[in-house]
Amino acid sequence: MNAQRYEARRETLRAAMREKGLSALLVSHAANRFYLSGFELHDVQLNESAGYLIVTADGNDWLCTDPRYLDAARRLWPEERVFIYSGDAPGQINGLLKDKVRGTVGFEARAVTLDFFDKVSPGLTMERADGMVEEMRVIKEPEEIELMRRSAALNHQLMEWVPSILVPGRTEAEIAWDIEKFFREHGASELAFSSIVGVGPNAALPHYAPGDVPLTENCPVLVDVGARLDLYNSDQTRTFWVGDKPADHFTRALEQTKAAQAEAIRIMRPGLPVADAYRAARAHFEAQGVAAHFTHALGHGIGLETHEPPSLNPRNEMILKPGMIVTVEPGLYYPEWGGIRWEYMVLVTGDGVEIL
């Protein structure tokens, strides 16, 4: 991405800001900050920000950060519009806003603490503006789509290799470490999220953390993993059987899960409420008498973050649009023996969807 791309995104945001009557938007969510500026996709940790972006209706935008990031900011942003704070970041940003902005300032309420808001807001008219940048990010640009094709391709390559390391006696944690090494050795900068490797009953825990449980002969293993390649994430799940005698209940649940996924993908197209995709998968499970074992949403958007809008759940009537990339990942979970999940990333096209 070049500077012109980030500027074009800010211009698109400015138009939306004018419609809402905002003179400025204080961007504090890390992925949104990066999407609009190219500056620091990650914050250092949950309670420490790498910086903030102030996008103004008149085009005089500011990148706010601390001295540690000054050189990085200079590479991306005109130095005369880099604001360096030290110590009391919200208080100093408050002073900048009062000096430079006249009118209502939008802020991302879900991405700031109450303490930060209390310090940044005195003397200002501030209004919640959650979702403005996410609404832009949900439709991927052509270059983003190509980057995500590459990320998904690496995940497919990984999943073809995984059966070779599913050897009885090896632990979940050892498998997870091998997966991370594979991703990094093939160009990924990091994991998209902490790898999920669940053996036996642990596979019934959708967000299980790998431990020291060993694989055994003739057992199920759920593997849900992703990588960040060229900034964009992948996310795929497969469920494997270790051994040559898969149990009937495993085979049946796997077939039911794949069929539910296929039914949801079959109806997905521009104009469809995402809730309808969820309902299609659930209807298949209901027809099989196993819907009680499907316990989560059908999927989620993915891009710079692993979990982005839209959530494919029964309460979300957001409409599918060309350029969206979402996961489709139905699952069935049985605490007594394990679980099944099968996940694809799909791109919404002009007349349907394409599995990436």
The predicted pLDDT at position 48 comes to: 77
For the chain, 356 residues long, the average pLDDT of each consecutive 10-residue run is 90 96 96 94 78 94 93 92 92 94 94 93 95 97 97 98 97 98 97 96 94 96 97 98 95 98 98 98 98 97 97 96 98 97 98 96
* Residue 166 sits in the same domain as residue 268: yes
Total domains, the chain:
2
The predicted pLDDT at position 56 comes to: 96
Joined tokens for residue 188 = 């990924």
The predicted pLDDT at position 221 comes to: 98
The predicted pLDDT at position 153 comes to: 98
Instruction: Single out the residue in 103, 122, 137 at which a domain terminates.
Output: 137
Place of tokens 């309420």: 109
pLDDT tens readout for residues 24-76: 999 999 999 999 999 888 777 777 788 999 999 999 999 999 999 899 999 99
* Residue 82 sits in the same domain as residue 177: no
- The DSSP secondary-structure symbol of 236 reads E
* Residue 195 sits in the same domain as residue 331: yes
Q: What is the 3-state secondary structure (H, E, C) of 155-198?
A: HHHHHHHHHHHCCCCCEHHHHHHHHHHHHHHCCCCEECCCCEEE
- Name the 3-class secondary structure at 76: helix
Q: Structural domain of residue 273, as residue ranges?
A: 142-355
The predicted pLDDT at position 81 comes to: 92
DSSP 279-302: HHHHHHHHHHT-GGG--S-S-EE-
* Residue 195 sits in the same domain as residue 221: yes
Place of tokens 């603490």: 113
* Residue 22 sits in the same domain as residue 57: yes
